Amino acid sequence: MNNVVTLEEKGSDIVLLTMKDEVSKNTFSPELLQGLQQAFSHINQHPTYKVVVMTGYDSYFCSGGTQEALLSLSEKEGNFTKGGIYSMPLDCRIPVVAAMQGHGIGGGFVFGLFSDYVILGRESVYTTNFMKYGFTPGFGGTCILREKLGLGLAQEMLMGADTYRGEDLKQRGITFPVYPRDQVLDKAMETARLLAEKPRVSLITLKDHLVEDIRQKLPSVVEKEVAMHNKTFHLPEVKERIKTVFGR
């Protein structure tokens, strides 16, 4: 991989994917995007891996789009679908356990939710803050938040664009486990080891069955998200908000 996304084998059947772009704080920089594409390509071609554990570094899991990328989108330069980054955990052949020990921001939080298992950090912040900048959600967020969090909480997070600690979401009744940040990766590895006891073919077959509906509906959802972006992303107010509010 490159120097911001690494793969570490934990035995012959578990692989640890770590995102560590300290310069961009794990926003979707070109280096992070390239590293993720290379990592998942390698994982999908490997014949013995059974489980992926995906994590970030320190207090960051994944921080979503860079300011430069958002400004480019506001100028009608492309859209978020390039490379299919958002759905890589969903499309991965084997189960993915997201050890979201750190903050998950915007598309970064959505990215983690496409995993098969999600573990959050009690102290960390999670938000789908698209509407904070005035543009409608993307990255498949309008699909996966409903699937993983339920309609009520999904509407609240997507429309309100507020921030939530892992402990806040636990109190709201999410089904994901929430642990102190320094315990999240260990708990994820426990889950991975439990899964790795099963035959690889059985894991792949069952994952295909369990996520079939989401895989089928996602393309049409993303198409509608892009259509909404065409209405909302190019508003002058949005560009100004990206310039002045980003990172706050």
What residues are labeled active site? 229
d(CA 158, CA 1): 33
Identity of the residue numbered 63: S
Beta bridge partners of 129: none
Let me know how many helices (H) and strands (E) the chain has, helices first: 11, 10
Q: Which two tokens stand for residue 173?
A: 């009744």
C-alpha closest to that of 56 among 118, 96, 102, 107? 102
C-alpha closest to that of 42 among 83, 93, 3? 93
d(CA 184, CA 199): 25
Q: Are 34 and 2 in contact (CB under 8 A)?
A: yes
